[in-house]
Amino acid sequence: MKSSGPGPREKGKDLLQIRNLHVEGFSDERWHPIVHGVDLTLKRGQVLGLIGESGAGKSTIGLAAMGYAKPGCRITQGSVLFDGIDLLAVSEKGRRRLRGSRIAYVAQSAAASFNPAHRLLEQTVETAVAHGLAGREEANRSAVDLYRRLQLPEPETIGFRYPHQVSGGQLQRAMTAMAMACRPDLIIFDEPTTALDVTTQVEVLASIRNIVEEFSTAAIYVTHDLAVVAQMADRIMVLRHGRTVEEADTRQMLASPSQEYTKTLWAVRKLAKPEVPADDYLLTIDNVTAAYAGKVKVLQDVSIKVPRGRTVAVVGESGSGKSTLARVVTGLLPPISGSISFAGQLLPTSLKTRPKEVLRRIQMIYQMPDNALNPRQTVEEVIARPLEFYLGLKGARRDRRIGELMHMVEMSEDFLERLPGELSGGQKQRVCIARALAADPELIICDEITSALDQIVQEEILKLLIRLQRELGMSYIFITHDIATVRAIADEIVVMHRGKVVEQGLKSEVLTPPHAAYTERLLSSVPEMNPDWLTRLLASRKI
C-alpha cells in the first residue's frame, strides 16, 4: 500500500477546463441562478477539492464537469472542455460515450445510488461492457481486481451480493470500483464519505486516495468537510453562493486563507464550551438492557447518569445503540431489564403508563426536522400544540408565550404563519427547539440534531442550545457521532460501542489520554485539518 501524502505529484497537461459556467435551477415556478460564472482548470492526475456550504453549487459544478445537469437544472452559459472536447457542444450521444468510460462519478449515498435490483458485479462492469471496452469475462476479472485493491472483504464473491447485503462503507468502495472500472481520466467524487461514520470514513478515504494515486486519475473531490478535503486534494477551491471565493494549493490554503469567508469556515470547528462538573443528578439509568422484538440486544447493561443543568454527549458509530438509548429514555422502547429514575422517582418504562406531567418534563428533538414537523402545520400551530396539550394555555396567554419562545430561539414572529417547507434547515431545527421548549422540560434529548446542517449553521444552533441551557437550566442528552460537536457542547461524555458503554466521564477526562481502546480509535479517526494527518494515522495503525 502506497501512502505518500498528497504532496507534489507529476502534473500533466490540462485535462478539464471549465469557463464561465452558469447553471440555473427551477423552483417556485421560475429559474434561479445557482452557479454564476465559475472557471476551473484541472490538470491530468490532479485532485481538486471543491468546498463550501450547501447551496454553494459545488455538486452542480461537479456534475457540470460531466456535461450533466440534474433534472430541474440547466446549464445556460459557458464551456466545459474535457481533453479538447466541449461537453456542452457535443451531442448527447457523444457525452454518453465519455460518461462512465473517461469521466466517472461517485455519489454521496452509495446505498441510494446502487440499483437495488442488480448484483454489485453486474453494476460494476455495466459501463465497460456497454461501451464495448471489455468482454464480460475480462470486465469481471478486472472488477474483482479492483475490489481487492480497494480492500473489500472476499473480493472474489462480494460482487455477487445485492447492494442491501453489504455495509455502507463497503458500498462506497464498490462504487469507487465501479467508477474505476474503465480506468477513467477523471472521477467526480461527490461527498463520498459524508454519510459514513468517522471510523469507516478513514478506511474509505484511504482506499480512495490509494487507488486514485495508483492509476494517477484526476479527480474533483466535492465535500463540506475541510479536514477531509485537506487529506484528499492537491488544490482547494472555496465556493459560496455559486461563485469562487478563492483557490490555492492545499497547504497554502490551510495555512493562510486570504478571504474573510474562508477564515470563518476555518474557524467554525474551534467552538468549545468549558465543562462544568455535576452537583446533582436528574436522570439515572441503571443497568438497562434493551432489544427490538426478539432480536439481538441493542443495549447491554447500560448505566448512565445525567447531571441537572448539564450536557451529556453520547458518542458512537451507527449501530452503537445511542439512538436506542433515546428510545428507552423517552419510553418508546421499554427495556428488558434495568431501571430509569428521573428527579428521584422511578420512571414507568412504557410511554403509555407515564403520566402527562412526566411526558412534559422529557422532550426530544430529532435529526431530520423535515420528518419531525408536519408539513401542513404552520410554525404557530407547531408551537401552540404542546402549550395547549401540556400547559392548557389558551388565547392571549398562549399567543404571548409563542412570541416569547420565538424570541428565545432567535426567530422573528414573522415566521409564525409560514409552513415548514418555507424555512431553511437551520430555521426548521429552531422551530423544533421552540416546540421542545414550549413544554418547559427539564431534560431534552437531542438525537443528531446538527448532523444534517452545514458547519456554520451547526455552530449557530450549538451556541443557541448552550445559551438556552445557561438561561433555563435544563439538561441535554446530546446524541452525536461528531467529535467536534461533542467538544463544543458537552460537559460529560459517554462513549458507546456495540450497545455497551465503553467509557464515561467529564469531557476533559475522556478526551485526554489514556483512552479506552475504542475511544482511542474513534478519536484518532476524526479528520484533522493537517494535510498529513491521514498519512500519519495509517502509518501508525499499520504497526
Partner 1 sequence: MNPVARTVLQRLGLGLVTLFIVSIIIFSAIAMLPGDFAKATLGQSATPETVAAFQREIGIDRPPVERYFVWVAQMLHGDFGSSFASRTGYRRTVAEIIAPRLYNTMFLAAVTALIAVPLALGLGILAALYRNGWFDRLVNVATLTTISFPEFFVAYMLAYLVISRDTFIGSDFAQTLPHWLTVSLNWALNAVPKFPTLSNVNDQTPFWEHLWKVALPAITLTLVIVAHMMRMTRAAIINMLASPYIDMARLKGMSPMVIVLRHALPNAWAPIVTVVAFNLAYLIVGVVVVEVVFVYPGIGQLMVDAVKSRDVPVVQACALIFAATYILLNLLADIISIATNPRLLHPR
Q: Which is nearer to partner 1, 108 or 427 (CB)?
A: 108
Shortest spacing between CB 177 and partner 1, in angstroms: 13
Shortest spacing between CB 49 and partner 1, in angstroms: 20
Q: Which is nearer to partner 1, 115 or 157 (CB)?
A: 115
Q: Which is nearer to partner 1, 11 or 183 (CB)?
A: 183
Within 13 A of 102's CA, how many CA atoms are on the CB side? 16
Sign of CA dihedral 42, 47, 51, 55: positive
Return the closest-CA partner of residue 255 out of 243, 246, 263: 263
Residue 254 CA to residue 87 CA, distance in Å, equals 33
Residue 158 CA to residue 178 CA, distance in Å, equals 13
What residues are paired with 235 via a beta bridge?
48, 249
Q: Which is nearer to partner 1, 190 or 459 (CB)?
A: 190
Shortest spacing between CB 132 and partner 1, in angstroms: 12
Shortest spacing between CB 107 and partner 1, in angstroms: 6
37 grid coordinates: 460564472
DSSP character string of 174-230: HHHHHHHTT--SEEEEESTTTTS-HHHHHHHHHHHHHHHHHTT-EEEEEES-HHHHH
Q: Which is nearer to partner 1, 132 or 344 (CB)?
A: 132
Shortest spacing between CB 155 and partner 1, in angstroms: 19
Q: Which is nearer to partner 1, 48 or 104 (CB)?
A: 104
Q: Which is nearer to partner 1, 107 or 449 (CB)?
A: 107
Residue 314 CA to residue 304 CA, distance in Å, equals 10
Answer for the pair 351, 331: CB distance below 8 angstroms, yes or no. Answer: yes
Within 13 A of 108's CA, how many CA atoms are on the CB side? 11
Residue 129 CA to residue 472 CA, distance in Å, equals 63
Residues near partner 1 (CB under 8 A) = 63, 66, 68, 70-71, 95-101, 104-105, 107, 109, 112-118, 126-127, 130-131, 161-162, 164-165, 178
Return the closest-CA partner of residue 140 out of 155, 125, 130: 125
Shortest spacing between CB 12 and partner 1, in angstroms: 24
Shortest spacing between CB 108 and partner 1, in angstroms: 9
Q: Which is nearer to partner 1, 100 or 531 (CB)?
A: 100
Shortest spacing between CB 170 and partner 1, in angstroms: 12
Q: Which is nearer to partner 1, 119 or 418 (CB)?
A: 119
User: What kind and span of H or E run contains 300?
Assistant: strand 297-307
Q: Which is nearer to partner 1, 104 or 313 (CB)?
A: 104
- For the chain, the distance separating the N- and C-terminal CA atoms, rounded to the nearest angstrom, is 13
Shortest spacing between CB 242 and partner 1, in angstroms: 21
Return the closest-CA partner of residue 49 out of 292, 251, 285: 251
Shortest spacing between CB 452 and partner 1, in angstroms: 17
> Strand 311-315 and strand 243-249: pairing?
unpaired
531 grid coordinates: 494535510
